[in-house]
Structure 1
């Protein structure tokens, strides 16, 4: 039950923050970031919103009767956190001319978790027929 609540809470939180951060990027950061950094920031927002929606949808559709279901949710929750929020931190720190380079490797780890989540979801759909 708590994994369902985690999926719903994080999906709603990520959706809310994606709207706020998207508006922040479009109205405030537009003057402060280079076009390349703004595009990176927008990528973080898009991936965050996509996975917010996925978390909400999955919370109502997965049976949560197998550890696989929890693994899928955890991959999406933590993958989104690492992927999108490391991009935000990298972009925002660049505005202060103090780019947090140690976060560079965090982004692909988050992306890998997202890819694992999608792979597990695909396996979840295919496992009854293979």
Structure 2
């Protein structure tokens, strides 16, 4: 599980940097300033959770069971939250109307919050060795 957390965290980090550079240098002529700011919000939260997975994968402060739960909550949360923001911010560039699935953004946010709550509970319940 630790390797899965570390690899996923690294991949999310790499993609976050690429998407951030794309927002800064590729989107500026294609969408308005508000859309770029929204896109950057998606990147920021993706990177936050990449770091979360990297820290979690290199630690022992929560149980393996909690790590698995946090992994899935964070990964699906990033896909729903950041992914939907990317789609919504670039909606004018696509034939698909991302506004039809806009409700997954707050659901993704709830999953991200849940990942942090599960981690907090895991830390509190972890017995000191």
TM-score range, shorter chain: 0.7 to 0.9
State the 1:54 CA deviation.
0.9
**Quick one: distance in 2 between partners of 1:88 and 1:72?**
23
Gaps of 5+ in 2: none
| Root-mean-square deviation (Å) | 1.9
Gaps of 5+ in 1: none
Partner of residue 50 from structure 1, selected from 48, 70, 91: 48
Q: TM-score, normalised to structure 2's length?
A: 0.88
Match of 1:28 in 2: 26
The TM-score normalised by the length of structure 1 is 0.87
Distance in 2 (alpha carbons) for counterparts of 1:78 and 1:35: 27
Residues 1-130 of structure 1: pairs in structure 2 closer than 5 A: 3-62=1-60, 65-96=63-94, 99-128=97-126
Query: What is the number of residues matched between the two proteins?
Result: 127
User: For residues 90-112 of structure 1, what are the alpha-carbon distances to aligned partners after superposition, in whole Å with 9 as ceiling and x for unaligned?
Assistant: 22222347532122011111111
2:84–2:98 CA contact under 8 A, matched in 1: no
Q: For the residues of structure 1 that align with 2:17 and 2:64, how far apart are their CA atoms?
A: 33
More moved, 12-21 vs 99-108: 99-108
